[in-house]
Structure 1
Amino acid sequence: MKWLVLIGLVAISEGIVIIPMTKMKTLRETVLEEITPKDFLEERSYNLSQETNLDYKFSSHPLRNFLNMAYIINITIGTPPQEFSVIIDTSSSDLWVSFIYCQAPSCSKYLRYNPKTSSSFQSDEGKHIKLTYGSGSITGVLATDTVRIGGLIAKSQTFVLSMNKLSGALEQAPYDGIMGLAYPSLAILGTTPIFDNLNKNGIISEPVFAFFISSWPHKSSLLMLGGVDHAYHKGALKWVPVTEAGLWQITVDRISMNRKVIACSGGCQAILDIGSSYLFGPTDIVRSILRSINPSPLQNEQRSISCHRTITLPPVIFTINGMDYPLTRKYYIQKVSEDICFITFNGGTENLSPPETWVLGDIFLRAYFTVFDRGNNRIGLAPAV
Structure 2
Amino acid sequence: MKLLLLFSLVALAQCLVHRIPLRKGKSLRQSLQERGLLERYLKKHPYDPAAKYFSTGVSSEPMQNYMDNSYYGTISIGTPPQDFTVIFDTGSSNLWVPSVYCTSLSCSNHNRFNPAKSSTFISTNESVYIAYGTGSLSGVLGYDTVNVADIEVYNQIFGLSETEPGDFFYYSPFDGILGLAFPSLASSGATPVFDNMMNEGLVARDLFSVYLSKNEESGSFVLFGAIDPYYVTNGISWIPLSAETYWQITMDRVSIMGRAELCQDSCQAIVDTGTSLLAMPNEYLTVVLRALGATSNGEVRIDCEYRNSLPDIVFYINGMEFPLTPSAYVTESNGVCSLGFQGMNVPTESGEMWILGDVFIREYYVIFSRAKNMVGLSRLS
TM-score by length of structure 2 reads: 0.84
Whether 2:379 is the aligned partner of 1:372: answer no
Written as runs of structure 1 = structure 2, the 5 A alignment for 1:313-332 is 313-332=310-329
**Aligned counterpart in structure 1 of residue 354 of structure 2, from 355, 358, 367:** 358
Tell me how far 1:45 sits from its aligned partner. Answer: 6.3
50, 60, 63: which one aligns with 1:43: 50
Query: Do 2:278 and 2:340's aligned partners in 1 also have CA atoms closer than 8 Å?
Result: yes
1:40 Cα deviation after fit: 4.7
Give the equivalent residue in structure 1 for 2:27. Answer: none
Can you list the C-alpha shifts for 1:156-194, whole angstroms capped at 9, x where unaligned?
A: 001011012353433211222111000011113443111
Structure 1 stretches of 4+ with a deviation exceeding 4 A read none
Secondary structure of the 1:311 match is helix
> Max radius of gyration: which structure?
2
Report the CA distance shift for 1:345/1:188 in structure 2 as closer, same or farther (over 3 A): closer
Cα distance, 1:351 vs structure 2: 3.4
Relative to structure 2, which stretch is displaced further, 104-113 or 374-383?
104-113
In structure 2, the residue matched to 1:177 is 176
Once residues 49 and 303 of structure 2 are traced to their aligned partners in structure 1, the CA distance between those partners, rounded to angstroms, is 44
- Superimposed CA distance per residue, residues 58-92 of structure 1 (whole angstroms, 9 cap, x where no aligned partner): 11111112232221110000111111111121111
Query: Are positions 1:101 and 2:110 aligned together?
Result: no
Q: Displacement, 1:151?
A: 1.2
The answer on whether the counterparts of 1:349 and 1:355 sit within 8 Å (CA) in structure 2 is no
The CA deviation at 1:105 is: 2.2
Distance 1:258 1:377, change over 3 A: same
SS at match of 1:169: coil
* Alpha carbons of structure 1 residues 161 and 268: separation in structure 2 relative to 1, 3 Å: same
For the residue of structure 1 that corresponds to 2:362, the secondary structure is helix
Please say which of residues 137-146 and 352-361 is displaced more in the overlay. 352-361
Give 1:221 deviation, angstroms.
0.9
Letter of the aligned partner of 2:333 in structure 1?
A: V
Q: Measure the CA separation in 2 of the matches of 1:172 and 1:286.
A: 27
2:235: which partner in 1?
Answer: 236
Answer whether contact 1:294 1:302 (CA < 8 A) is retained: no
Stretches of structure 1 lacking an aligned partner (at least 5 in a row): 1-35, 47-53
Aligned ranges 1:84-99 → 2 under 5 Å:
84-99=84-99
* Matched ranges for 1:255-334 at <5 A: 255-259=254-258, 261-294=260-293, 297=295, 303-334=300-331
| CA positional deviation for 1:44 | 4.6
Q: Which amino acid in the other structure matches residue 306 of structure 2?
A: R
Q: Which has the higher helix share?
A: 2
User: CA shift at 1:301, angstroms?
Assistant: 7.3
Deviation at residue 239 of structure 1 after TM alignment: 0.2
The answer as to whether partners of 1:264 and 1:356 remain within 8 angstroms in 2 is no
Question: Cα–Cα, structure 1 residues 259 and 127, in superposed 2: closer, same or farther, change >3 Å?
Answer: same
Residue in 2 that maps onto 1:33: none
SS of residue matched to 1:330: helix
- Please give the alpha-carbon distance, in whole angstroms, between the structure 2 residues aligned to 1:252 and 1:200: 31
1:307–1:341 contact (8 Å) kept in structure 2:
yes
Specify every segment of 5 or more residues in structure 2 that has no aligned partner in the other structure, as ranges. Answer: 1-41
Q: 1-side partners of 2:86 and 2:271: how far apart?
A: 19
Specify the SS of the correspondent of 1:292: helix
Aligned length: 341
Task: Output the amino acid matched with 1:116.
Answer: A
1:156-167 superposed matches below 5 A? 156-165=155-164, 167=166
Other structure's SS at 1:325 match: strand
Query: Any idea what SS the aligned residue of 2:360 has?
Result: helix
Matches within 5 A, 1:127-206: 127-165=126-164, 167-206=166-205
After superposition, the CA RMSD in angstroms is: 2.3
CA distance in 2, matches of 1:302, 1:104: 28
Using the size of structure 1 for normalisation, the TM-score is 0.83
| CA contact 2:77–2:144 (8 Å) conserved in 1 | yes
Aligned to 2:37: none
- Partners of 1:93 and 1:184 within 8 A in 2: yes
Aligned residues with identical type, % of pairs: 37
State the partner residue of 1:253: 252
| Distance in 2, Cα, partners of 1:374 & 1:347 | 30
